[in-house]
Amino acid sequence: MDNRKIGIIIIVITILMALLLWYFRFQYISFQLSRIDIQTAGECIHEGATCPYEEINKLAVPTFIGIGILLAALGLGIYLVFFEKSQKALEERHKVIVETLKETKKKESDEERFSILLKGLNEDEQKVIKAVKEQDGIGQNTLRLRTDISKTKLSVILSGLEKKDLIKKVKKGKINLIYLKKKI
């Protein structure tokens, strides 16, 4: 059973106990007051027996203790109900943080692998791979303009990268679209 349900049960039981306490205290006071005979002088005429006023006053301390216990139980119930909400919010924030950390770590490892890959390539091949990574599916003419490499040299570089299994050319009409072969 979760904290919220326990809190609600405690609140309901506390309210029922408070109502019972109030009802029985009211009944007891009514009963004692019905036994009281008051003289005009205000003195109690109950000789030999305990005065009903004194009986009523004897219940004051236990009643206040009972009320204190009920208030503490009510406070506990309210705390459990609201603590559960904050606990769920905390769990949600924890999930978001964990997901963000996983994504960040994945990006860092992808960037690390990409930088390692680039170290194994010459300067022109690095330019080409970086441009293709920025815009996967880039046209060969656009790639030539971005890298500032001649047509012939770019064709040779693309053939070499294709042999290294880093890119693939897809013919679309009269143009070649260049894609990264693997996710890097």
Residue predicted with more confidence, 110 or 148: 148
- 167: pLDDT strictly greater than 50: yes
How much is the pLDDT for 67? Answer: 87
pLDDT in tens, 34-48: 655 554 345 556 565
Instruction: Indicate the range of 20-29, 94-103, 113-122 predicted with least confidence.
Output: 20-29
- Rounded distance between C-alpha atoms, residue 23 and residue 17, angstroms: 10
Q: Which CATH architecture is the domain 123-180 placed in?
A: Orthogonal Bundle (1.10)
pLDDT in tens, 60-74: 777 788 889 999 999
How much is the pLDDT for 66? Answer: 85
Q: Interior CA angle at 181 toward 178 and 184, to 5°?
A: 105
Mean pLDDT of the chain: 82
**Token reading at 81:** 């109900």
